[in-house]
Amino acid sequence: MIREKKEELIKELADNLGKCEVAIATDYRGITAKEMVLLRRHLHDQGVEYKVIKNTLARFAAEKAGKKGLDEFFTGPLALAISYDDAVKPAKILTDHIRAAGSVLKIKGGVMGDKILTPADIANLAATPSREVLIAQLVGRLKAPIYSLHFVLSSPLRVLVGVLQARAKQLEGG
C-alpha cells in the first residue's frame, strides 16, 4: 500500500475513533464470507460501521486518537464495529449474531469514550435495554406520581358525584 494512502487511512480511522460513541474490536477468523456479508449488512442497516483493518494501522490510529490501551486488542484478524450514536446497538447486534448464528466470531474488547471495555463489559452492555426503551421507562416512572396524585385528588369528587347521583335518583323515584 502506498504510504500516502496508509496515512490517509490512519487519519480517517483516528477521526472515527475520536468521535465515535463506542468501537468494538472483533476477531473474524473462521467465519464464512456469506456470514460476514450478512453481519455487515445487519450492522450497516442499524447505522454501525464494520471495517476490517490492519493491526499496525489500527495501532497508529488509536495512538493518534488518544485511545490508550487498545493495543492489546490489535492482534490477529481485526474488524472494528464503530457506532456514533448508540453505544448499546453494536454490542447487542454482535452478541445476538454470535448467539443466533452459533458464530465463531469473537469479541476482543473495545473502547467507549476513554474507558477500555473487556469482552465481559461488552456482554453487560449488550444486556442493557436500548436507548429508546430506557427513555420510555424513565418517562413512565416520571408520570406515575402525577397519575397517583391525580387519582388521589379526584377521588373525593368521584365520591361526591356518586352521592349526588344517588340522591337525584332517590328524589326522582320518590
**pLDDT tens digit sequence for 1-10:** 688 888 888 8
Residue with grid cell 476490517, as numbered in its chain: 52
pTM for this prediction: 0.72
Q: Which residue, among 129, 61, 76, 131, has the nearest Cα to 107 in the 3D structure? A: 76
d(CA 66, CA 87): 19
- Structure confidence at residue 77 (pLDDT): 86
Is the pLDDT at 174 greater than 60, yes or no? no
**Which pLDDT score, from 0 to 100, does residue 3 have?**
84
| Burial of 25 from C-beta contacts in 10 A (0-12 / 13-18 / 19+) | buried
pLDDT tens-digit series, residues 27-85: 888 888 888 898 899 999 988 989 888 888 888 888 888 877 777 888 888 899 999 88
Task: Report d(CA 46, CA 121) in Å as an integer.
Answer: 21
